Structure 1
Amino acid sequence: MSELLLIEDDPIMGESLVQRFEIEGYTPHWCRRLGEAATLLDVPQRWAAVVSDVRLPDGLASTWFAARPAAVRRRPWFFLTGYGSVDDAVAAMRAGAREYLTKPFDIERLVALVRDATSRGDAVDDAVLGVSPAMRRIEALLRKVALQRAAVLLTGESGVGKEVAAQLVHEVAGRGEFVAVNCAAIPETMLEAEFFGYEKGAFTGATRVHRGYLERASGGTLFLDEVGELPLSMQAKLLRALQERSFFRLGAERPTSSDFRLVSATNQDLLVAMADGRFREDLFYRIAVIRVDLPPLRERPEDVRWLAERMLAQMAIEHHRTLAMSDDFVRMLVARTWRGNARELRAVLEQAVILSETGWLDAPPPDLPAEAGAAADATPLLPLQRMVEDAERQHIRRALQVTQGSVGRTAELLGISRKTLWEKMRRLGLNA
């Protein structure tokens, strides 16, 4: 059985929640004070989820939660709050809480949220790049590579998350500073000065010593985004610096040493660039000891909802609003081809949030950006599996309405087990 930590000082509410979660197959441990819970959280992996009131006799759970170690905050936390403590719950969301519900709340919705979070497991809770099988494999590889010093080349379309992957490598390695450089944004005449730095008086206007990117990254990670945009002259200088782990600042007489982990990224095909003479072959093999290709979002639809939920949680903090998506809205997101990948997804969500008066994202507003090149009156032909899922989703939704949201009675009505119904509801994005 999954163990669940409940922190609630109201005896009636606490007893009701204990009984309800026991019916769902959890083993609830009920604490009435933060002090009681502190000892139990010494082993955070023990708990499938934590449900807590915000205002407790010995302090604010939201403030207390924000001060917990990262391993504790990574567990799915759900806060229950009165109207007057919504700001406290928002603060907890900023620190990583999964959700907060205002009292009086629908206990069935809380149970469904907890069930969804715990059934997906730690692999989803701790995922950084995505929950699709492809991104899970990539994340596992990058975590393994991060413990070595090999140079990594990340490839993929624009907006696919290459910098997030580079930051993951850096954070797992746990050393030094993360220095990100957009190679396409630096004027060619300034490349050498920005990469290697310069001495005071090296040229007109050099009034002080300037530490370049390679020097600032020493002991940490140097991330070269759009590395394929570097001109050949700069590629040769960079290659020499990588080989010797030292370089000369402009105007310097002695070399400067720098020890850093190199992660590069590009949306170009560098093999084609090499064949065309636009990229040095020797530099390619220096920066691409480990090559990782991040697939576009359209090839991993499982990540669309996961990314959208994370982005929406962040927007809720930024806009100081409660935000949520309907099943229809999520289906609209999954149906898009996302030529701009995660960057386009965020833009679509931003517009929908701004145009929504209630914070409930139900259907795309009239001026939500349409797919490039798509006919305005074209009706997409959905895959058969999608049509089956839509029909199943509507049928289960009708049954839930008939039983007024009772999962047990709905399962009996549909002639399936309670566990099967929960699994279908989770897969289809339905809440009781």
Structure 2
Amino acid sequence: MTTILLIEDDPIMGESLLQRFELEGLQVTWCRRLSEAREALDTLPSAVVSDVRLPDGLATEWFVALPATVRALPWFFLTGYGSVNDAVAAVRAGAREYLTKPFDIESLIFKIRTAANLSVAHDDEALLGVSVAMRRVEAILHKVAVQKVSVLLTGESGVGKEVAAQLIHSLDPKAVKGAFVAVNCAAIPETMLEAEFFGYEKGAFSGAVRTHKGYLERAHNGTLFLDEVGELPASMQAKLLRALQEKCFFRIGAERTTQSDFRILAATNRDLYADMNAGTFREDLFYRLAVIKIELPPLRERPEDIRWLTEKLLAQIVVEQGRPLAMSEPFLRDLMRREWRGNVRELRSFLEETVVLSDGGLLDLPDGHASSSQQAAEASEGGIVSLQRVVEKVERSHIQKALQHCDGSVGKTADVLGISRKTLWEKMKKLAIQS
């Protein structure tokens, strides 16, 4: 049973969340003050959903002072316009994330279920993604890691093939003494391939001033990862196949063979079946490399991983940049609508650029900025948009200004605008306005 600790002093919001959670089959404990929540935390609920500003203090400040075991629970903060900085600080201290009001309840329920399921999973935490497709891939990687078999990883550029290879290596109990040696086959000049792969003796050729160990030798008792293996020329394919079959090779200029025992992993974004039919890739080498063949799906086919990856990548960027950063729900939703043809590599590049150009601690869509899908729609209409869209743009801008004037208070803003609080909530949700 998934149990939720709800900390919310607003009776309307609290009752609404309570009813929705219970309809979803979640068991809820509702507290209106931090003093009540302290005792409820002793039961270690599956997740905590908390407002930031409560009658007896800021929940974010309270959270930071809690024991690490309690902060390790999935915490979701619900924040208004005036408490974003507090929420950002909580995320830095270990909270799962914060959602700006009004938020998507469906998204929140999905996050809670995902967090609860991952917390009881045997492998503790998703390493490649939370989507069904990537969880299946990860399960296969766990199986092949304990067997010394060759694995061919396929998929588009930037999809995470090297990360998957590193995971296999880290899970292999026999590879603990050896290194993970990654080779980009497309980046080595053809004239240097044999020297780089097999190594050479001192004096073997002009410029060989010392003995050099090649990739195969350096991977002894570890893993040799051949990225872009489809780029190897035919001559090198034959030499590599012989070395893999006999588990020994000659350094250039050597009189004796060198033995090396390692696991071979390979990756490509090419269609090697087509290359074999065209005669540019050896069939015997293919079947030596592809004892197990695993395809990693592109990011656009698993949108649920976009949010998960974005959070992971942003956490890394925060450490690199040395300043607190968080994202708004509209910003995240816009990311999830994009196609990401460059996959995870493109996503990280976009986030790094956005962080560098951001002024504050919150990544958000600029005021009046249309999402990528909206821009595409407007472009298809020749720059002429519907009257409804113009009205929505003006309405959004006016409500945002009113919220700022009222310090983010929804009740005061509703009074100023001359509408009910319920009507304002509905408009804010429809227009994706954060309070």
TM class, shorter-length: 0.5 to 0.7
Distance 1:375 1:252 in 2: 66
**Within 5 Å, which residues of 2 pair with 1:1-400?**
15-19=35-39, 21=41, 76=73, 97=94, 118-122=115-119, 123=121, 126-174=125-173, 175=175, 176-363=178-365, 377-378=379-380
| CA radius of gyration, larger in | 2
> In 2, distance between residues paired with 1:343 and 1:297?
10
- Local SS of the residue matching 1:222: strand
**Aligned partners of 1:329 and 1:364 also within 8 Å:** no
Gaps of 5+ in 1: 5-12, 29-50, 66-71, 79-85, 102-111, 380-393, 395-399, 405-412, 414-424
- Deviation track 1:212-258 (CA, whole Å, cap 9, x = no partner) reads 00000010110000000000000000000000011000011111111
* CA-CA distance at 1:342 after TM superposition: 0.4
Deviation track 1:245-289 (CA, whole Å, cap 9, x = no partner) reads 110000111111111011100000000010111100000000000
Deviation digits for residues 285-319 of structure 1 (CA, Å, limit 9, x no counterpart): 00000000101000000100000000011111111
Separation of aligned partners in 2, 1:53 and 1:192: 58
With CA pairs under 8 Å and 6+ residues apart, which has the higher RCO, 1 or 2? 2
Distance 1:347 1:280 in 2: 35
Residues 71 and 95 in structure 2, CA contact (< 8 A), matched pair in contact too: no
Distance 2:289 2:71 in 1: 34
CA contact (8 A) 1:199 1:208 kept: yes
| Separation in 1, partners of 2:161, 2:147 | 19
Match for 1:285: what amino acid?
A: Y
1:292 alignment partner, SS class: strand
Deviation, structure 1 residue 120: 4.3
Which AA in structure 1 matches 2:118?
A: G
How far apart are 1:23 and its partner, in Å? 9.7
Q: Residues of 1 paired with 2:240 and 2:327: CA distance?
A: 47
Cα distance between partner residues in 2 of 1:27 and 1:349: 28
Rounded to whole Å, the distance in 2 between the matches of 1:365 and 1:315 is 24
State the AA in 1 paired with 2:183: V
Structure 1's 369 and 286: CA in aligned 2 closer, same or farther, altered over 3 A? farther
Q: CA separation of 1:23/1:290 partners in 2, compared to 1, >3 Å: closer, same or farther?
A: closer
What is the one-letter code of the residue matched to 2:253?
G
Counterpart amino acid of residue 177 in structure 1:
A
Letter in 2 for 1:128: L
**Corresponding residue for residue 42 of structure 1:** none
Deviation at 1:356, TM superposition (A): 1.2
Q: Is contact 1:352-1:365 (8 Å) kept?
A: no
Matched residue type, 2:141: L
- The structural deviation recorded for 1:367 is 11
The 3-state SS of whatever aligns with 1:223 is strand
Alignment partners' CA distance in 1, 2:213 and 2:144? 28
Tell me how far 1:320 sits from its aligned partner.
Answer: 1.3
Report if aligned partners of 1:202, 1:250 keep a CA contact under 8 Å in 2: yes
Shift of 1:378: 3.9
Which SS does the other structure have where 1:343 is aligned? helix
User: Normalised by the size of structure 2, how large is the TM-score?
Assistant: 0.64
Shift of 1:334: 0.9
CA distance in 1, matches of 2:203, 2:366: 58
Identity %: 55
Q: Find the aligned partners of 1:16 and 1:312 in 2 and give their Cα distance.
A: 33
How many angstroms apart in 2 are the aligned matches of 1:281 and 1:74?
Answer: 53
Counterpart-to-counterpart distance in 1, 2:71 and 2:190:
44
Residues matched between the structures, number: 329
- Per-residue deviation, 1:75: 5.2
Whole-Å separation in 2 of the counterparts to 1:52 and 1:288: 53
**1:245–1:259 CA contact under 8 A, matched in 2:** yes
Cα distance per residue 1:160-191 (max 9 Å; x no partner): 00000000000000422100000000000000
Query: Do the aligned residues in 2 keep the contact of 1:297 with 1:342 (CA within 8 Å)?
Result: yes
Aligned-pair CA distance for 1:121: 2.3
